[in-house]
Chain A
Amino acid sequence: ISDDSSFYGGHGIVGAQVPLGCGIAFAQKYAKEEAVTFAMYGDGAANQGQLFEYICLWDLPSILVCENNHYGMGTADWRAAKSPSYYKRGDYVPGLKVDGMDAFAVKQACKLAKEHALKNGPIILEMDTYRYHGHSMSDPVGAHTFTRDDISGVRQERDPIERIKKLVLSHDLATEKELKDFFINLNIDMEKEIRKEIDDAIAKAKDCPMPEPSELFTNVYVKGFGTESFGADRKEVKAALP
């Protein structure tokens, strides 16, 4: 996590990140920063029940973003919730349903949410989106019921990048041909660039040495008071935690 990016990363326990994000918002309000926190979770995680309306009681500048792709691992949203209207789940926390595949809608929604959060307190943004692939490679048949036709239909109608392309054309910002050439070049260059960035990152990661064995004991505490910590064989491997 870098202090510049204010990105606190992901969390291994589904749903637990939401109150944590509200805690960061709490700190922002406490320090009187004019800042907000976006706490992101999926439609599956929404059922963990760690959203509570007391964040409203304290007017925390927190924006809860539910990315609703209608599947939690293998379970469709209608099988996991009586009300899959996640934006309505807040009771006293107001919510907005946003077309998550429309880049401009998302931008506007976030802008509005920030204004609201700073002035009035928490707000939920439900970003309606789509899952092109399954949760993982080991999904059984039938876990993901979208057919190939469904998927290509969505790609045509709702794909965020396709949509921007259509807007550019319909507003005469470019002709079809200009766009095609531009797009092809952009795509090729962009794709090349992106691929290179990824390949470089992978190569860098693979070239990096594995951590030293002594790293086993680093950063357990900020202040360890010299307490002893042990490896698997406590008589062979021990360290003092600084």
Chain B
Amino acid sequence: MWGILRRSAVDGGGFSASSLRRTRSALVSARSYASGSKEMTVRDALNSAIDEEMSADPKVFVMGEEVGQYQGAYKITKGLLEKYGPERVYDTPITEAGFTGIGVGAAYAGLKPVVEFMTFNFSMQAIDHIINSAAKSNYMSAGQINVPIVFRGPNGAAAGVGAQHSQCYAAWYASVPGLKVLAPYSAEDARGLLKAAIRDPDPVVFLENELLYGESFPISEEALDSSFCLPIGKAKIEREGKDVTITTFSKMVGFALKAAEKLAEEGISAEVINLRSIRPLDRATINASVRKTSRLVTVEEGFPQHGVCAEICASVVEESFSYLDAPVERIAGADVPMPYAANLERLALPQVEDIVRAAKRACYRSK
């Protein structure tokens, strides 16, 4: 069921929090009609998550470029200024170093900022605050200063936006102790993980994906509830299998599921793991899966050297060496700055056929 996606173009006119509640109560009363799963775009999932957390806790506020009057550069914060007012939703000047520093300071003082980077490429202007001011504070203060902040925004490649706008920062942030790093895939992931991130007392880097914002996913009743939360640090097995383990996160989960379909046609049963949490990394789930299948293909969009895949390979070789029947495989972004030309961009990013090829290699089905 999770492999079924429907692309729906939502220009932000979809669910508002109130229409969501109306639909939900309509559903509750219609529970006797068992079928008909609800669908939700990732954009609406994120919007509803922020809305509900702001409603529940007056300390939560939103800050970023164009998040208020403009309704959000990608419409993720649509309607929030109108609902909560300028004391809870702040449009900032274009100064990442400035507003990130202010956000971290506000978190020191007990508020719960949700800081938006228009893309994570711009977070590099503020990375000193993320690492040195946020990540390390609890440790350096012996637990006296914790930083309950969320840094969120689109991460990784979009379509034709060039080298300075396409980098994936998962590996960089996930290498830092003191930070938590989450990467949702589906609408349910987006809701559950963002709510968990906002409630978490530690700094969380929340890596979204621009190309996923408009994608619709089925969503359960449970996930629509305002108390819904997903655990941080636990991966999800999106598809069970027994021949090869494929681990990945964010947009690549969709590609891995497509690859699994193709592999199934050739008699290879692939297990697809959606990491959801890059730090803490769910090594237990990954290793348990590899001990079952004996083969590993790790996939990510970011640069290969010192990447998330490299860490997963190391973990599996360290902890499950004797279970491996084939060398570990890595499929990652090309080891070059992201090209602009559309055909080169396609070559620079993992495609479904790359994942299929690597899985077949791990199963000794090709050269």
Q: List the interface of chain A (C-beta within 8 A of B).
A: 11-16, 44-45, 47-49, 72-75, 79-81, 139-140, 142-143, 210-211, 213, 215-217, 220, 229-237
Contacts and interface: CB of A to CB of B under 8 A. Distances in A.
Q: Which of B124, B337, B343, B351 has the most CB of A within 10 A?
A: B343
A143 B94 contact: no
B98 A211 contact: no
B347 A216 contact: yes
Interface in B161-187: 162-165
The 8 closest A-B pairs by CB, nearest first: A12-B164, A47-B93, A74-B70, A80-B93, A229-B335, A233-B354, A232-B350, A210-B343
A135 to B, nearest CB: 9
Contacts of B94: 14-15, 44-45, 47-48, 72, 80
A49 B102 CA distance: 14
Interface in B103-142: 121-122, 124-125
Nearest to A47: B93
Given A49-B98, A216-B336, A232-B354, A210 B122 contact: no
B91 A215 contact: no
Instruction: Say which size band chain B's interface belongs to.
Output: 35 or more
A233 B358 contact: yes
Nearest to B74: A138
Contacts of A213: 343-344, 347
Given A12-B162, A234-B304, A237-B347, A217 B336 contact: yes
Contacts of B66: 73-75
Nearest to B358: A233
B271 to A, nearest CB: 20
Q: Which of B162, B335, B339 has the most CB of A within 10 A?
A: B335
Interface of B: 65-66, 69-71, 73, 91-98, 121-122, 124-125, 162-165, 304, 329-337, 339, 341-344, 347-351, 354, 357-358, 361
A162 to B, nearest CB: 31
Contacts of A44: 93-94
Nearest to B12: A140
Nearest to B303: A230
Contacts of B162: 12
15 contacts: A13-B121, A15-B125, A47-B94, A47-B95, A47-B98, A48-B97, A72-B94, A74-B69, A75-B65, A81-B93, A213-B344, A215-B344, A229-B334, A232-B332, A233-B350
A233 B331 contact: yes
A232 B334 contact: yes
A232 B336 contact: no
Contact of B69 (A48, A75, A217, A230): A75
A13 to B, nearest CB: 6
B330 A234 contact: yes
Contact of B70 (A15, A47, A140): A140
A233 B332 CA distance: 7
A230 B336 CA distance: 8
A211 B337 contact: no
Nearest to A41: B94
Q: Which of B94, B97, B341 has the most CB of A within 10 A?
A: B94
Nearest to B340: A211
Given A74-B70, A215-B341, A231-B334, 6 more contacts: A13-B164, A72-B94, A80-B92, A231-B348, A233-B331, A234-B304
A13 B163 CA distance: 11
Contacts of B337: 220
Nearest to B305: A230
B85 to A, nearest CB: 15
B119 to A, nearest CB: 10
B348 A216 contact: yes
A232 B98 contact: no
B121 A230 contact: no
A231 B93 contact: no
Nearest to A80: B93
B347 A229 contact: no
A139 B71 CA distance: 9
A49 B94 CA distance: 9
B310 to A, nearest CB: 11
B343 A232 contact: no
A20 to B, nearest CB: 13
Contacts of B121: 12-13
B95 A48 contact: yes
A79 B67 CA distance: 13
B344 A216 contact: yes
B342 A12 contact: no
A117 B351 CA distance: 52
Nearest to A218: B336
Given A73-B66, A143-B69, A210-B342, A236 B357 contact: yes
Contact of A75 (B70, B98, B332, B354): B70
